[in-house]
A and B are shown apart, each in its own frame.
Chain A
Amino acid sequence: DTGVSQNPRHKITKRGQNVTFRCDPISEHNRLYWYRQTLGQGPEFLTYFQNEAQLEKSRLLSDRFSAERPKGSFSTLEIQRTEQGDSAMYLCASSGLGGSTDTQYFGPGTRLTVL
């Protein structure tokens, strides 16, 4: 296994369009996390899953943001009606059964540019 993968790596879209990003975690990992990172800032937590259950979503930035992990494997993050302020790097991470003390492995991120 080569680690966490994210697709696409770059996405350019026009304001108002919907975008969807995919994250494939390390295969044996049951926890999956989404973050947003803007230039000069640290990662900002959005949501996380344990298997297919979304256990925390109160920090999704608005109701335009949603995430799914339907079979407990890969996950998708969708942003509807994109705005220029959504331009950022979207990071995914996964971890195993150790819970909050387990090591997170981050993917390379998807860079979103909203024109």
Chain B
Amino acid sequence: AQSVSQHNHHVILSEAASLELGCNYSYGGTVNLFWYVQYPGQHLQLLLKYFSGDPLVKGIKGFEAEFIKSKFSFNLRKPSVQWSDTAEYFCAVNVEDFGGGTRLMVKP
């Protein structure tokens, strides 16, 4: 199994702050990369995915992520967070391997 690391377990930001959540993985072959979000009381849902092409991918709700192959990273970014972005975020490699999650709290 591949290893997926999300180094920030908890992040607290004020509204309008910029967000970057780290994701690193330990697999050298072809990877499909995903970010999922779980809002309080809701199901996991896909934010964005990368499998080929432009390494900068845009997802829903203003999120984007950049695949840097040399760094085995797929960090999630948002230039200006909102209170409604409070949720838990999971990075995944293919469908099998998820990171431990980052819990984001945005203060109004």
Q: Is B99 in contact with chain A by the CB < 8 A criterion?
A: yes
Cβ distance B16 to chain A, nearest Cβ, rounded Å: 28
Contact B51 A106 (CB under 8 A): no
Contact A43 B90 (CB under 8 A): yes
Contact A59 B1 (CB under 8 A): yes
For the complex, give the distance between the alpha carbons of A103 and B49 in Å: 8
Q: Is A62 in contact with chain B by the CB < 8 A criterion?
A: no
Q: Across the two chains, which residue of chain A brings its CB closest to B52?
A: A101
Q: Is B94 in contact with chain A by the CB < 8 A criterion?
A: yes
Interface size on A, residues (CB 8 A): 25
Contact B98 A43 (CB under 8 A): yes
Contact A103 B51 (CB under 8 A): no
Contact B94 A100 (CB under 8 A): yes
For the complex, give the distance between the alpha carbons of A103 and B34 in Å: 9
Contact A100 B95 (CB under 8 A): yes
With a cutoff of 8 Å between Cβ atoms, the chain A residues found around residue B44 in the complex are 43, 91, 93, 106
Q: Is B22 in contact with chain A by the CB < 8 A criterion?
A: no
Q: Is B97 in contact with chain A by the CB < 8 A criterion?
A: yes
25 contacts between A and B (CB under 8 A): A3-B43, A4-B43, A35-B98, A40-B100, A40-B101, A42-B4, A42-B90, A42-B98, A43-B44, A43-B92, A43-B98, A44-B98, A45-B95, A45-B96, A45-B98, A56-B96, A95-B95, A100-B32, A100-B51, A100-B94, A101-B51, A104-B46, A104-B95, A106-B36, A108-B43
